[in-house]
Each structure stands twice: as structure tokens, then as C-alpha cells.
Structure 1
């Protein structure tokens, strides 16, 4: 419904202009997430620069933007409140180490196990989260630190400029693709607000309200090397390790799902394990430069892709320009109306949300529709990592339940008078109960053959079920023969090992995942 993908050809010019657009949009986001984590605004801004630069250079997905994120900030806040910012930096350092290990051991490949309904729920949930986050920009301080909703002319000006920004982003590409429409919208709205002296809230107004400091600014120097000032002992490790583990998991899940989304949009393929290492290297660096760490940002990544950013140059440009703003041009950035940035993010919401999911709800299985809604809701009300884990678990349980019902046998008596059970369907933990009920042990003849040619033995639960069946026939004084069972399965069988008919030529060669084989 809302295809905002840039049709401009990939070029250095488009990457640089797109990077500039992203840099402008990063400022209020980084400040907001720093506020959530209860650290100084510069801690969030430095994180956006460091994470953005290192992942752009070393990460596995050109065009993807990383920085300080809300998903990680909400985990950090309790650590900061209880132990202080120095422990946060130590936790971010450990987070980076864990993420590098994930990449080294090639754990990024498991992102392929995330089902499509979970991806749809992830995208829709994050679009809603991005939208709800922008509503905070419609609040102003009452002078006593209490945020209240805008009203009167301030609200009307805000809404008008937001609408103008969205209109420019939507219609400008129909006229020209020479300049990213998001960047053009920000420049036009900023010029209009300054030229007409409109009473529009700006970036610096937002920073002052968030910090409660009338003299607040985003200006600062270069990040400085800083080893976290914490006791380097086991007690510190006990404090920071749970946080680091959660941060590492959230960061990698959000980054790899965003990578997968951009892969689908651009019809290219990123490198998930390299992205794990890139994210880890970025957080390691944040930990020793006094920054709060971060991960991939779906909103800013969509701004970049929609604006024509495709290569690593776009991410590098965004990070470098953000640092330039902090050090040299803070005054210019502080004048940008919040309405322009809100309008850009609203268009990101429209472009990110999978509107087609409404149309397909009646066409897909009810279980898939349920997973889409479930993951979207959990993403909004809890966090991304929990939502994805819940979605994968529910999808796996549904898959197991459905396939557990697909096991059956066709039975006949062969020329030797033996009864043959020709097994069809997968034999795994979910279907073992149905499997055991397929056999009439008391009424069967002395010799029984189970034919596995059309079945798949999937796990150790299946092996145990075969063992138990052999034991049941043995107690009745009958002989159970297993035919066309893989050699791996035979090696795992205990009670039935002497009953297996060997047929090496026709036996399948698939492997069975089991601790016994390890």
C-alpha cells in the first residue's frame, strides 16, 4: 500500500545524501534512548556514532543503520539506577564479547529458523512501537518537569508541519529523485519554520524537556577512551553478566531480523555471522569509550533504504556526520523542528507496517494469523526478544502438533507370513504416542516387520519409541524386524539392536540429532 522504496539508482551521491538524512533523524532518537536508560544525552549520541560507524564498516548488511535503541535501553535502566553508569559500560563491554562469540561460533544462521508469520509480527509490532514513540514528541514541559500534551496553536503548528513533511516525502519522488525526499522535507520545513518565525518545537526544546535543564545542549567533544571504573572481580561479573546476556540476545535478534527484512526489500543477502561480529565489535568499543551500546535500528534503516542508501558509505556517512554535528554544528541541528523528524518517522511507520497482513489473514492458516497478532502484541507490550521467542515457540508447537497427526501405516501380510507395517510420516517427539498406538502387539503374528522406507526418524524420542515397541513384542515372545532404518538410528538402538535387518544399499543416510552421537 505504501511503497516508499527509492527508485533512484545506487550511487555515492545517494548514499551520502541518505546518510545525511539518517544523521539528522538519529539525534532525537539517541537523546530519547539515553533518557530512558537514565544516562547523559552525549552517552546516547556517542553510542549512535560508534555503533553506527563500526557496524557500517565491519557488519554483514550494507545499508543497515545501527545505533542506540530503545529495546536495549529499557534493559539498561535498572542496572544504571542500582549500580551507576560505570557498571553499564562494563556490561556493554561484556555484551560485545558475547556477540563476537556468537559470530565466531556461527550462531547467526539460526535466524533462518524464524518463521515468516513471526517476521510479519516483528515488523508490524516495531512499526507500532515507532509510532507510539513519536507521540512523546507531542508533549511539552509545564515548567515544573511534568510533561503535558500540546494544545492550542502549538499543537496546530506541530500537526501542520508534520503533515507538510509527510506530503513532501510522498509526492517529491514523483517529480524528482535527485535528492532524498526525507532530506528535502527536513530542509523545507526547517526553512519554513525559521523564515516565518513559527512557534515550533525544535530538537533543543526536546533535549531541554528530557533533561530538565534549561542550558542543555547536544554539543560535545570527541569520545575519549575510558576503562569502566568498576572492581574487576567475580562480584562485578555476577552483577553485569545477566544484563550482558539479555542485551546481547536482544541486540542480535533485532539486528538479524532487521538484516533479514532489508534482504527481502532490496533482494540481496547479508551475512548474519559477520553482522554478529560487527555488532559485538561496536559494543566492545562503546564499553571503553563511555557509550551506552546499541544494535540495528529498523526505523533509521528504513529511512536509509527509502532514501536510496545501499552501500556501506551511507552508514559511514550517517555516523561521521552525527559526530560532526555533535562537535562542530550542534547549533544548526538544534534548530530543526521536531515536526519534520516526526513526519519522517511517521512515513517510516507507513512504509514498514505490512498492510498486506490484513488482506492475508483469512487466507493463511488460523495458527499463522494468531502468531502474527501475538508477536505484534508482545512486541508492543513487552520487548522484541520475548516476542520473537514466543512466536518461534508457538510456531514450533503448532508445527509439531500438525505433523504429529500425519503418521500412519499401511499393513499387509508378506509371502513369509510376517505382518508388515509400512510407516508413513515423520517419527519424532510429537508423534511417538500416535506411533505406539498403530500396532496390535497381542494379535500380530510371530514375526512383525516395520518398514521405514517412507518415514523419517527425527530425534531421540523416536529412537526410544522404537526401543519400547521392540520390548513390547519381545515380552509377547514375538520378533520385531526393522527395515530401511538408517545406520545412525541402528547405532542408537539398545533393546532392538539384535533385531534389525541390515539393508545398507537402500538405507537412508540422514543423521539423527542426539546426545549419544556427540
Structure 2
């Protein structure tokens, strides 16, 4: 019994300390994303607090950290610039409702359809994006790039941070290495009086508790037409990023999250956030990696991170603003190293070229645009490549039976990508008077295939030849217009399946 208590206490300590590390790293990112969206830094900090707390309380993947993200911020900036921040709050509420609806409709399971090469490209692309985002910290307050002594100090502190994070876990795990690095670097800067950029140089994070606020907008159809497109885009981006982050954590921890619960949790958090002056958010893979590597494997770590962040806003802003940015950049560089799948380089020559292409494509689109677009492009490209490869598998065994009839036994799936190959199998002009096409080893998948079979029957009829179509489903017969009675039905032998066809709607 006492051992069980100590085990729970040790896990709680890991979660709380990991939450503190995450909260410290959240501050500059939330402020930066607020600037990207064109809103006050507190709007980003409130979002990080509210979204992080609520998702961990009611619907988060254990160990996953949520908050304001850059993927959402780049979409929000146009809305804020054109219509103002009140429209943003209303959009965040509607975005949350859409996400809750997706969870209730069990749409979270579709994340399983994302192929592994796409997931690999997503992770690698995101690691590159996180790295590039840190480069902004090498700019001085006037926007110019650091050089000379300030650059050397910044680089040295970053390197020391990375060394602490690398070697400390080999000695002890009593304290998260990220938190230890922040404390050590902060003490060095303060006691040595080093002149380097701090959190306070980015923005002031002091403020009060987020107030309840109903968006001050006209509640009419015109407003809905403005915010609805943005809400759908933000909801899709938020869910894709959250569900993919969940998949990455599943791989790291050898556990399985609940996609539909994540959808509902993210949506609920955004609904509340919109009414408390936050910019909304979703899962953050960088912060989640910090949390997992620091031992935060339970929801308590996310709750602790959110509460620590709120305490920074309410009480600890003077202390937090003294933290050197170099320490936080060093932590994020270690996240980049841990997130990037370095084995990808070894895999490029060992996996099919198509998979390597998809991985590189998704990573490139992630860097060039944003995560949701990259994933959608990757899934579509994978589907097209798969369709192309399957189309090449259509062939026919041809033979002549004892009655002189020519029999085409079709193998492989018949669908939009394979119909050209299918048509090339037949020699209509030179075929005998009686032709049999047997689909026992094939499957008619869509309306394009139905139309092709129908056209084939018509071509044989114009040549004055008899065509028999065997082993088609009853549904296929119902959709064939020109074949008519040429389709031979055998209830015992013919397959029973459905064809993707809009005529059935």
C-alpha cells in the first residue's frame, strides 16, 4: 500500500515539474503566435491557459499539451485585419462547436487513414518549422540580426542549455532537464550580469484572470457568412494537428489515444476560450514532446502547465520576464532534434520510391504552407499513387471453351484509374461471335467502371456479336443500361457488394 502511494506521488511530482517546464516554454510561443494573429499577447496567453486546462480536464490525450499555435494564427490574421478581434472570438466559438460535432459524429477515427509516410513527413516538416521559428530570436529588438558579442553570448547559452538537457538525464531524473536548464541559465545571466534577450524584451505577460466576454458582433446571417468559412478552416486545421500529434505520442509511448474524445475536448476548450477572450488553439507537438520527455505522461501535466501559466500571468510576470530567451530556444532546439526522424535518411533507399516521395513532399509543403494543407496534399497524393499502382494490376486470362466462345477472366479491381487498361484487354473486331467476360476474380468499384462495362456491351452489340457478363453483383446489373439481359445472374455464385455510384443516392 505504501509502495503504491509512493508510486503515485512520484508520478504526480513528474507531472507537476514537467508542467512547470512546459509552462515556461509556452510563454514566448503564445506571445509570438498572438503577434502573428495581430492580437494582444494576453489573447495568446489566455488561449494557452484555457485550451490547455480544459483539454486536459475533459478530453485530452494524456501527455498532450494544447494551446495557441502558429498554424491557426496564420489563418486568423486575415480575419482580425478585416473585421476586428470580436469577430475572432465569435469564430473561435463556432470553430469549437464544429469540432465537438466532429467528435460526436465519430470522425476522429479517420485519422487512421493517414498513411505512415504522411505522418513521417508531418513530423519532419514540423521539426523544421519549429527550428525556423526559433531563428527570429536571433534578431535584436530593432529587427536587425545579432552579431558580435550578443550573438556569442546567445549561442553559448543555447549550447549550454542543450548540453544540460542531454547529459542531466544520464545522471538523475529527479528534476526535468528542461527546468534545470532554465534555472541554471537564468542564474548565470543574473549573477554574471550578461546582456542578453529575455522574455520581458518580447512583451509584458502581466495581466488579470481572463474575463467572461460575449463577442460584440451583430448576430445575423451576414455575420455568419463572414465567420463560418474561417471557423471551418480553423476547425479542420486544429483537428488535423491535434489528431496527428496524438498519433505521434501514441507511437512514442506505445499507447493509444481516443480520437473522438480529443475532438470533443478540443472543441469544448475552444468554445469556452472564445467567451474568455482567447484566440483558440489546438495540440502543440513541440510542447507535447517537451512534456513527454520530461516525464509528463498523464493529464495532470497539462493541468499543471495551464495553472502555472495562469500564475505567471497573475503573480509571476516580473520573474518570468527575467528568463533568458536563450534557455527557451535551447529547449526548442532539443525538441527539434528529438522530433525529427533521423532514420528517414536511411529509409530513403530501403522503402518504395513512392513512399520516400510522399515523405519529402509532406515535409516540404509543411515548411512552405502549413500543417493541415501538407497532410491533405500527402493523403491525396498517396491515394492517387495507390490508384495508379492498382490500375496496373488489371489483366485477363483468355481462353476458348468447347463451344468456340472466347472467355475473358478479369483479374484485379475495376475502377476509374483502371478502365483504360481494362479496355485494352479486348479485341472486339477479331473476337468470335460469342464472348464471355467473367468478373469472378474482379470487383467493380465505382460508376466509371459501370459505364465502361456498359460501353463495352454496346460496342459488341454494334459488331453484331453476343456478349455475356458473368459474376457481376445484382447492383451492377441494375446500373447497366446497354447490357440489358446480357448480364447472367447466378444468385449462388455472384458476389454481393455495393458500387460507389451517385445514382444510388
Is the structural similarity TM-score above 0.5?
yes
Deviations 1:265-318 (A, max 9, x none): 111111112211211111111111111011111100111111111111111111
Q: CA deviation at 1:108?
A: 2.0
Q: Name the counterpart of 1:506.
A: 493
Post-superposition shift, 1:408? 0.6
Given the alignment, which residue of 198, 201, 212 partners 1:202? 198
Of the three residues 262, 266, 271, the one matched with 1:275 is 262
- CA shift at 1:167, angstroms? 0.5
Match of 1:213?
Answer: none
Q: Provide the TM-score with structure 2 as the length reference.
A: 0.95
2:176 to 176, 180, 188: 180
Cα deviation for residue 198 of structure 1 reads 2.1
CA contact (8 A) 1:490 1:500 kept: yes
Conserved in 1, the CA contact under 8 Å of 2:391 and 2:417?
yes
CA distance in 1, matches of 2:387, 2:140: 51
Three-state SS of the structure 1 residue aligned to 2:252 is helix
Moved more, 101-110 or 127-136: 101-110
Is the CA contact 1:460–1:513 (under 8 Å) kept in the aligned structure 2? yes
Q: Is the counterpart of residue 360 in structure 1 residue 356 in structure 2?
A: no
User: Which one of 368, 376, 379 corresponds to residue 392 of structure 1?
Assistant: 379
Deviation at 1:486, TM superposition (A): 2.7
1:414 alignment counterpart: 401
With over 3 angstroms needed to count, the CA separation of the structure-2 counterparts of 1:254 and 1:506, relative to structure 1, is same
Distance in 2 of aligned mates of 1:425 and 1:60 = 43
| Equivalent position of 1:333 in the other structure | 320
1:165 aligns with 2:165: no
Residue matched to 1:309: 296
Alpha-carbon offset, residue 9 of structure 1: 12
1:429 deviates by 0.4
CA contact (8 A) 2:239 2:263 kept: yes
Task: Using the TM superposition, give the Cα deviation of residue 497 of structure 1 relative to its aligned residue in structure 2, in angstroms.
Answer: 4.4
Alpha-carbon displacement from aligned partner over 1:1-48 (angstroms, at most 9, x marks no partner): xxxxxxx99822212211111111101000000011111111000000
Moved more, 470-479 or 258-267: 470-479
Aligned to 2:477: 490
Q: 1:60 to 1:204 in 2, by over 3 A?
A: closer
Could you tell me how far 1:356 is from its partner in structure 2? Answer: 1.0
Cα distance in 2 for residues equivalent to 1:368 and 1:449: 39
TM-fit CA distance, 1:219: 1.2
Structure 2 residue ranges without an equivalent (≥5): 1-7
Q: Does the CA-based 8 Å contact 1:460-1:514 persist in structure 2?
A: yes
1:292-303 alignment, distance < 5 Å? 292-303=279-290
Asked whether the equivalents of residues 121 and 363 of structure 2 are also in contact (C-alpha less than 8 Å), the reply is yes
Question: Could you tell me how far 1:441 is from its partner in structure 2?
Answer: 1.9
Q: Distance in 2 between matches of 1:283 and 1:420?
A: 62
Quote the offset at 1:60 in angstroms. Answer: 4.8
In the alignment, structure 1 residue 88 sits paired with structure 2 residue 88: yes
Q: Give me the whole-angstrom Cα distance separating, in 1, the residues matched to 2:456 and 2:256.
A: 47
> Please, which moves more after superposition, 94-103 or 351-360?
94-103
Deviation at 1:454, TM superposition (A): 1.7
SS at match of 1:328: helix
Question: 1:57-94, CA deviations, whole angstroms, 9 ceiling, x for partnerless residues?
Answer: 22252111110001111111111111111111111111
Contact kept, 8 Å, 1:55 with 1:282, in 2: the verdict is yes
Q: Give me the whole-angstrom Cα distance separating, in 2, the residues matched to 1:38 and 1:490.
A: 59
Measured on the aligned residues, the alpha-carbon RMSD in Å equals 1.8
2:49 aligned with 1:53: no
- Cα distance between partner residues in 2 of 1:348 and 1:331: 27
Relative to structure 1, the CA distance from residue 429 to residue 60 in structure 2 (aligned partners, 3 Å threshold; closer, same or farther) is: farther
Aligned-pair CA distance for 1:383: 1.3
5+ residue gaps, structure 1, are: 1-7, 208-216
2:155 matched to 1:155? no
CA distance in 1, matches of 2:450, 2:178: 59
Return closer, same or farther for 1:12/1:431 CA change in 2, 3 Å cut-off.
Answer: same
Distance 1:34 1:97 in 2: 22
Counterpart of 2:144 in 1: which secondary structure?
Answer: strand
In 1, distance between residues paired with 2:348 and 2:53? 40
For residues 105 and 121 of structure 2, the distance between their equivalents in structure 1, rounded to whole angstroms, comes to 28
Secondary structure at the counterpart of residue 248 of structure 1: helix
Distance 1:168 1:404, change over 3 A: same
